[in-house]
Structure 1
Amino acid sequence: MEIVSYAQKYAEDFKNLNIAWLEKYFWVEPHDKDVLGNPKKYIIAPGGTIFFVKEDEEIIATVALMKMEDDIFELTKMAVTPAAQGKKIGQQLMEHSIDFAKQKKWKKLIIYSNRKLENAIYIYKKYGFKEIPIEENNPYSRGDIKMELKLS
């Protein structure tokens, strides 16, 4: 198993993993369709990055770091295939993302989530994310919690 960075050949994996996750727990919003349909435009070009977990040439997980403003990035679009869940792959991606952000000397990471995802929120807190007030016009109608991790 290895963590690899975005390449155009993984764009469909990024989209499919996230749509499957969203449809399982919530719904696909217009903002999701834009970002998932064109990750190069919405994530990579503005300065963000996407990581994938690859096992035997198959992409089994992904996460994105999307630029919000200079040195502040949203940790978003994390998804793991059902077959790979329970193997702490999400935590490996979380550690990799935090290490990457620290190397880049970013100030903080932001996460929008939903309180019904108790396991995810537990993991975010385990890695030091703290709940902060969520703005009314947050990018996701399903978002009811916002968390941040100060890196410096």
Structure 2
Amino acid sequence: MITITDVVFPEDLGALQELILEYVAWLAIDLSYQNFDEEMASLEALFTLPSGCYFFAKQGADIAGGVGFRTIDTDTAEVKRLYVRPEYQGLKIGRALMEHLLLRLAKLGYRRVVLDAVPPTQRAQALYLGMGFQEIAPYFNNPTPNTRFYGLDLSSMATIPLH
């Protein structure tokens, strides 16, 4: 059974670093344009409210995947680092993580969520579209060719297909 928990600092810092580094290695894309080294050095500040939050999906004590968000402004949050480890893919963990994230964002009062999706994330992009995300204009300069940007209005959670 999968449970979704908030990352707790400093206890979960090492596990979060490991998961994000695994995700970035899987992407095989240079994320220096996102100040990635600075992000890794400041995970606790980035993923502690009110700046943001990160969630682990766990099977027992094992971390199957995770997703986070960061605050862009009082109405908008950005999805960060959705990743499900290969041995746990196909079990709808990505959907469970996204549903948990969207519900939490709505409870926190966000009205909109955005994200960028690089080409290796085709399965995640299908998930986003299936949950009602729409393709939007870029909200920052991502130099990775064929990156797509998505947004979702959270003002009415009833319109978001949750399972």
Indicate whether the TM-score tops 0.5: yes
Q: Deviations over 1:119-151 (max 9, x none)?
A: 11111011111111114x43x433721110011
Identity of aligned residues (%): 21
Alignment pair present for 1:22 and 2:24: yes
Structure 2 equivalent of residue 145 of structure 1: 148
Between the aligned partners of 2:47 and 2:30, the Cα distance in structure 1 is: 18
Structure 1 equivalent of residue 5 of structure 2: 4
Between the aligned partners of 1:142 and 1:34, the Cα distance in structure 2 is: 19
The one-letter code sitting in structure 1 at the alignment partner of 2:57 is V
- Number of residue pairs the alignment of both structures matches: 150
Between the aligned partners of 2:109 and 2:150, the Cα distance in structure 1 is: 19
Structure 2 equivalent of residue 133 of structure 1: 137
The one-letter code sitting in structure 2 at the alignment partner of 1:60 is A
User: What RMSD over aligned residues (CA atoms) do the two structures have, in Å?
Assistant: 1.8
Between the aligned partners of 2:44 and 2:143, the Cα distance in structure 1 is: 23
Q: Is the 8 A contact 2:27 2:120 kept in 1?
A: no
Between the aligned partners of 1:114 and 1:56, the Cα distance in structure 2 is: 31
Q: Is the 8 A contact 1:60 1:81 kept in 2?
A: yes
Between the aligned partners of 2:109 and 2:20, the Cα distance in structure 1 is: 28
Moved over 4 A (4+): none
Give the superposition deviation at 1:110.
0.6
Match of residue 103, structure 1, among 98, 104, 107: 107
**Residues 46, 100 of structure 1: CA spacing in aligned structure 2 closer, same or farther, 3 A cutoff?**
closer
The two structures have a TM-score, normalised by structure 2, of: 0.83
Q: Deviations over 1:24-76 (max 9, x none)?
A: 22234232232233211223254311111122212221111111111211011
Q: How does 1:1-152 map to 2 (within 5 A)?
A: 1-8=2-9, 9-30=11-32, 31-44=35-48, 46-135=50-139, 137-138=140-141, 140-142=142-144, 144-152=147-155
Helix, strand or coil at the partner of 2:72: strand
